[in-house]
Amino acid sequence: MPEVSTAYGDKFIDYQSTGRQPYPGVWNPPEIQNYWESYVRGRKCVTFLSTPAVNPESQEVYKGGWPDKKDPFTQTDLLDNEEEQVQELILWIRTSLFIPYRENLANRLVTLLNDAKEEDSASLGIAAGSLRNFYNFLQLNTNLKCPTISLTPEYNIYASWREDQKKLFSVLFLPNGDTRFVIFKPNDLHPERQVRISGTSTTDILMATVAPYGVCDWISE
């Protein structure tokens, strides 16, 4: 099973603790197949797992509940898999108890996905890597207020926290686990002026990176 990564958005997250796995220890192929068939039936979503590295001869490794796709590398397949991952991530957000506003957030993401698809049905909708990166950020920072969310032209998640119309913290979550952030805050010595800062950081150290600017004071519950 893939390892859980809470720091980077470029890794697949399974989110299941080892305690929930039915076959501890070394698995043989029939056990893997049985597990995935039950897993897929239970989740009603299939995640993209077949890569050239694990299936170099483009053969179907799994049967039964495995998706009926021999070549996952067409544009259509990529989009399908991207959308399936997005839907699964939204499902995880909806059921993540550490997110107090999980229902509102999941509904907002569904709306964004529909908006993007309505605008361009051939588009990604939401970039799965970006959404995964955002989810990782929420996992690492469980005390944040619900942000305003929109999509960039490249379908990445852009989250903003505002206060008093003078304080702003916006974060663009890139699919590779990086973030680009913007901070606007009043200049303490010249209240009529604003301090404006932008930068980049990996998701895992974002809050530590922006801590000197007092961002936590206005985006935390």
Partner 1 sequence: MKGDTVPDQHHIARLCNPKHIDNGFIQATAFMLRVSEESLSVNWLEFLNCLSRKREIAELRNIYSKKFTKVGGRAQIAVLNVGEIREKVLTESPDRRNLKVLHDPEVNDPSHSGIYNLKQDDELIAEMILETVRETYPAR
Among 41, 98, 196, 211, binds partner 1 (CB under 8 A): 196
Ranges within 47-66 binding partner 1 (CB under 8 A): none
Among 172, 206, 210, 215, binds partner 1 (CB under 8 A): 172
Q: Which listed range, 10-18, 32-40, 91-99, 168-176, lies at the site for partner 1 (CB under 8 A)?
A: 168-176
| 118 near partner 1, judged by CB under 8 A | yes
Q: How far apart are the first and last CA of the chain?
A: 35
| 198 near partner 1, judged by CB under 8 A | yes
Closest approach, Cβ 133 to partner 1, in A, equals 15
| 191 near partner 1, judged by CB under 8 A | no
| 173 near partner 1, judged by CB under 8 A | no
Among 10, 31, 154, 217, binds partner 1 (CB under 8 A): 154
What is the widest separation between alpha-carbon atoms in the chain?
69
| 170 near partner 1, judged by CB under 8 A | yes
Which residues contribute to the site for partner 1 (CB under 8 A)? 108, 112, 115-116, 118-119, 148-154, 158, 160, 168, 170, 172, 180-182, 184, 194, 196, 198
